[in-house]
């Protein structure tokens, strides 16, 4: 191991020694598992204080270039020991290794952050992100997408996405077709959100219109926006003959639907409510869900 130390240099002796050892490891002059001279032996050879050698060794042990064991020589860390094994490797271990290597190669943490973010944005999506201002509607969209697409589905509001653009990393964003412009303004241009088309309620409206006897029509949902839209759609068919009741989950009273003749329920309410006149309504069209599934498939 050819180490040359200059006592006239402004570079501290400890740093000169440590960086030359790193260079020898990087160029293959020091092999994984190879033992280094003892602290006192190397100090005597270089004619420097043994504490200087000890500090250099400890620095390289902390930086994971060397391995030190009590009662034995310091050795070059074996290749398989420098990277956590797949079995024992956690996300924090990978991040720590990345930060250490980047620093050793002279990269700033800021440049590392920007480059990692750019690479993550370029990666194919691994989950779906539902973006909508209505919390109940977000939950409803998540439910229907999860049932149709085998993929993790997360959700956030437009305000949350605007304040934290990192929510879009690794995501295929989706939004109601009428809100797609607002959502796309918060996303990278090369990764726009997919629009979700909502199904018409013509059959449900016609079902109410055909009822000859005065009826109580209940609408139940997890979304306040869903209830408001249903009220407007049903209004022409209801007229003064029928009565519409709206219920936001959870029901205030288990017997709240007892007087209802017909119950229109969203995809979540269908699973939670029992009623003889229960009629489901799925918000997202099958064609829209099919398109979403195809967008997730690798080319």
**DSSP β-bridge partners for residue 155:** 130
Q: Which of 3-12, 131-140, 236-245, 288-297 has the highest mean predicted lDDT (pLDDT)?
A: 131-140
Burial of 265 (0-12, 13-18, 19+ CB in 10 A): buried
Alpha-carbon span 77 to 262, nearest angstrom:
73
The residue ranges of every structural domain in the chain are 13-81, 89-121, 124-198+291-296, 202-281
For helices 202-209 and 224-238, the axis angle rounded to 10 degrees is 40
Q: CB of 43 within 8 A of CB of 50?
A: yes
Q: What are 20-59's pLDDT values in tens digits?
A: 898 788 777 888 889 999 999 999 999 999 999 999 999 9
Question: Other C-beta atoms within 10 Å of 117: how many?
Answer: 13
* pLDDT confidence bin for 77, thresholds 50/70/90: confident
pTM over 0.85: no
Residue whose tokens read 């860390």: 77
Angle between helices 50-62 and 13-26 (to 10 degrees): 50
What 8-state DSSP symbol labels residue 37?
Answer: P
Instruction: Report how far apart, in Å, the C-alpha atoms of 252 and of each of 248, 286, 294 are.
Output: 9, 32, 40
- Cβ-proximal residues to 161 (8 Å cutoff; 6+ apart), any chain: 131, 167, 168, 183, 186, 187
Is the CATH number of domain 13-81 1.10.10.10? yes
Query: pLDDT at residue 282 above 60?
Result: yes
Q: What is the mean pLDDT of residues 171-184?
A: 91
> What's the per-residue H, E or C state across 279-293?
EECCCECHHHHHHHH
Q: What's the whole-number mean pLDDT along residues 229-238? A: 86
Residue 207, class by beta-carbon neighbours within 10 Å (0-12 exposed, 13-18 middle, 19+ buried)?
middle
Structure tokens at 166: 């990192």
Helix-then-strand count for the chain, H and E = 13, 10
pLDDT given for residue 94 in this prediction: 76
């Amino acid at each position: 191991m050819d180490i040359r130390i200059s006592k006239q240099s402004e570079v501290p002796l400890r740093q000169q020694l440590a960086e030359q050892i790193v260079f020898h490891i990087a160029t293959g002059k020091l092999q994984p598992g190879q033992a280094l001279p003892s602290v006192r032996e190397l100090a005597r050879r270089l004619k420097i204080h043994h504490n200087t050698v000890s500090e250099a060794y400890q620095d390289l042990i902390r930086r994971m270039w060397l391995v030190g064991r009590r009662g034995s020589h310091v050795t070059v860390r074996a290749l398989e020991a420098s990277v956590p094994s797949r079995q024992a490797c956690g996300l924090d271990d990978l991040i720590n290794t990345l930060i250490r290597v980047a620093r050793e190669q002279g990269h700033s943490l800021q440049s590392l952050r920007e480059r990692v973010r750019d690479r993550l944005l370029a990666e194919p999506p691994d989950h779906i992100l539902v973006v909508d201002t209505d919390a109940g509607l977000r939950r409803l969209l998540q439910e229907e997408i999860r049932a149709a697409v085998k993929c993790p589905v997360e959700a956030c509001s437009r305000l949350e996405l605007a304040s934290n653009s990192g929510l879009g990393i690794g995501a295929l964003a989706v939004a109601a077709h009428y809100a797609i412009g607002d959502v796309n303004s918060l996303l990278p241009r090369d990764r726009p959100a997919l629009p979700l088309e909502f199904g018409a309620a013509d059959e449900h409206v016609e079902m109410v219109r055909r009822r000859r006897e005065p009826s109580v029509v209940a609408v139940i949902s997890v979304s306040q926006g869903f209830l408001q839209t249903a009220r407007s759609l049903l209004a022409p068919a209801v007229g003064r003959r029928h009565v519409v009741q709206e219920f936001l989950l959870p029901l205030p009273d288990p017997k709240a639907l007892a007087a209802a003749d017909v119950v229109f329920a969203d995809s979540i309410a269908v699973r939670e409510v029992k009623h003889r006149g229960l009629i489901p309504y799925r918000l997202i069209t099958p064609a829209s869900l099919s398109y979403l599934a195809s967008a997730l498939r690798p080319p």
